[in-house]
Chain A
Amino acid sequence: MEHISHAKTYWVVWAALMCLMVATVVLSRVPMPGPLNTLIALGIAAAKATLVILFFMHLRYENYTLISVVFVAGLFWLLIFFGLTLVDYASRHVLGVPGH
């Protein structure tokens, strides 16, 4: 059976999203050492995304296991793409590039 959330749930999630958006905008203007700005911004983005996926997209109430696996697989595959590509780019100065 399909789960019907309370309308209030959506408003609360929306309020949280607005707060997170304000936070990310404000924090981006605060200089921080190293990659901290970017990491925090991406962390907040991930938090927003999680809220949208779990509540607006109903993942919390759907066939949780199957669809979570599907969605997480998609993200994981993206990370494979990022990660293994970076293995090349991040290490070109380490062992060098054959032929150069």
Chain B
Amino acid sequence: MATTAVATPVVRENYLNTNYGIKSWLLTTDHKRIAILYLISITLMFFIGGFFATLIRLELLTPQGDLMTADTYNKVFTMHGIVMVFFFLIPSIPATLGNFLIPMMIGAKDLAFPRINLLSWYIYIVSAALMIYVIVNGGVDTGWTFYTPFSTTYSNTNVFLAGIAIFINGFSSILTGLNFIVTLHRMRAPGMTWSRLPLFCWSHYATSVIQVLGTPVIAITLALVAIERLWHIGIFDPKVGGDPVLFQHMFWFYSHPAVYIMILPSMAVMSEIITCFSRKRIFGYAFVALASIGIAVLGFLVWAHHMFVAGISAYAALVFSLLSYFVAVPSAIKVFNWTATMYKGNVSLRTPMLYALGFIGLFTIGGMTGLFLANLGIDPHVTDTYFVVAHFHFIMVGGAVMAYLGGLHFWWPKMTGRMYNELWGKVAAFLIFAGFNLTFLPQFILGYTGMPRRYHAYVPEFQVLNVLSTAGASILALGYLLPLIYFLSSLRNGPIAGDNPWAAQGLEWKTASPPPTFNFEETPVVTWEAYDYEDLPKEVPVVS
């Protein structure tokens, strides 16, 4: 009679169980714990932003402005924008996945400045707390874009405090970017040359460059708005010879590159997921790496395409329109290279790959509609309509959020040592994809046929498409709730994941799941190229 002895899994020392207690988490300098702290905070802010999105879609079910007044609606879409942009999208992938993975991917024990990393999180928390106070205290109604003179002179809401909150939040972003740049330059393990670096790291490097160069400009811009709120005198005031459009120049100088802060980390995740689930090395490594840098550089040259109808000169509009066409090129190169990576690869459709495929399609649509907007003939017709809203949601939600979720699913076993439920993962991915398209595809049509953005009432002709959009949003909301549930559940009930459940390449998979506090038993010495999938199993293993 054979008996199978059930082996009690030996729980090795790892970063989660190395010590317990709230103090060990709140005073940690371990980049992995800080990543988890960020994960929790960012998820909270995501649901706050989502709450405001729900209110928007509910109001827009009917043509009349009947759920809330116009003033309240202004506050609702403003808070949705501010929370989602500054408190969710910009930190999301870098502060969670970037923080967790970059030291491991380069074979280091931690980031270059672990205490500054923790400071970065505390700054984020302070700014988020201040923003929540602003929300509770009546919100802001200027739009997340804070255009003058409404924000400086005429708005009766908490512009000053909101500006301060975003100012503080900017430091969190700057310090994270600074940390990543120094880490990537100085902390790589022996043999980890720049050309062997995972593309995840290249993209985060490009993101960090943008964060470091751009964020200070929005900081000073919002500081100037705050000063004008306090002392009723400012440089954007025509009464003293100022120009309100100068605010827009200063604001968009950061806020356009900011959208690349939001998308480059998503592209970072894509390169890792697509290679693993195609079992192939990336097509055109050098091109993808340089395209990341190209996006970072070119992204700073196009900001006034947000201002074509604001009162800039026709000549400037021409220049910025032309430059905006150029910035699409490196993004397109990446999409071609990912597609070529999949060609003749052994593609397996696990949950992370479903998100990746969704990303490629939706990001491409979003990107191409950006070209419509860069066109000086079309833009005056569709600017400030739902066409723009649909464009940026395709990129931010269809692109960035899907990549974030894909990355969370891909690295969940590494971060927690547990596997999520694959069936529920696929269900959620499909719901999100379907819900997303139903929400935002109608908005392209709405915008093109003339529905303006930031209005809570509209002509009855637009109702059908708005109802479809809200229906899609409800499916999308359900799709977002599911991972929250099954991820949490997996912490208790999920199967134990091994060191490398996906048989993936990359230094992070060569250490335990969850990793020990200092990441590696011994400093690795790298002698192989990135994405060396030739020597690995041809199939992604199934984890039961």
Interface residues of A (CB under 8 A from B): 66, 73-74, 77, 80-81, 84-85, 87-89, 91-92, 94-100
Contact = CB atoms under 8 A, between A and B. Distances in A.
The B interface is mostly helix, strand or loop, or mixed, namely: helix
Interface string B196-235: 0000000000000100010001000000000000000000
A96 B313 contact: yes
Nearest to A74: B213
13 contacts: A73-B209, A77-B213, A81-B217, A81-B253, A85-B249, A85-B253, A87-B319, A88-B245, A92-B313, A97-B312, A98-B309, A98-B380, A100-B311
A97 B311 contact: yes
Interface in B286-338: 300-301, 303-304, 308-309, 311-317, 319-320
Interface in B487-535: none
A41 to B, nearest CB: 23
B115 interface: no
Given A66-B185, A97-B311, A98-B309, A87 B316 contact: yes
B384 to A, nearest CB: 14
Interface residues of B, number: 24
A88 B380 CA distance: 18
A67 to B, nearest CB: 10
A73 B213 contact: yes
B314 A98 contact: yes
A interface secondary structure, majority = helix
Contacts of B315: 87, 91, 94-95
Contacts of A81: 217, 253
B313 A95 contact: yes
Nearest to B246: A85
A91 B312 CA distance: 9
Contacts of A91: 313-316
Question: Which 5 interchain pairs have the tightest Cβ spacing?
Answer: A91-B315, A88-B316, A95-B314, A91-B313, A92-B313
A92 to B, nearest CB: 4
Contact of A80 (B185, B209, B246, B301): B301
A87 B303 CA distance: 12
A100 B317 CA distance: 14
Contacts of A100: 311
Nearest to A86: B316
Contacts of A80: 300-301
Given A91-B316, A92-B313, A98-B317, 13 more contacts: A66-B185, A81-B253, A84-B320, A85-B246, A87-B316, A88-B245, A88-B312, A95-B314, A96-B313, A96-B314, A97-B312, A97-B314, A98-B309
B213 to A, nearest CB: 5
A96 B313 CA distance: 6
A85 B304 CA distance: 9
A100 B335 CA distance: 41
Nearest to B380: A98
A84 B245 CA distance: 14
Contact of B313 (A74, A77, A88): A88
Interface in B34-73: none
Given A74-B213, A77-B213, A85-B249, A97 B313 contact: yes
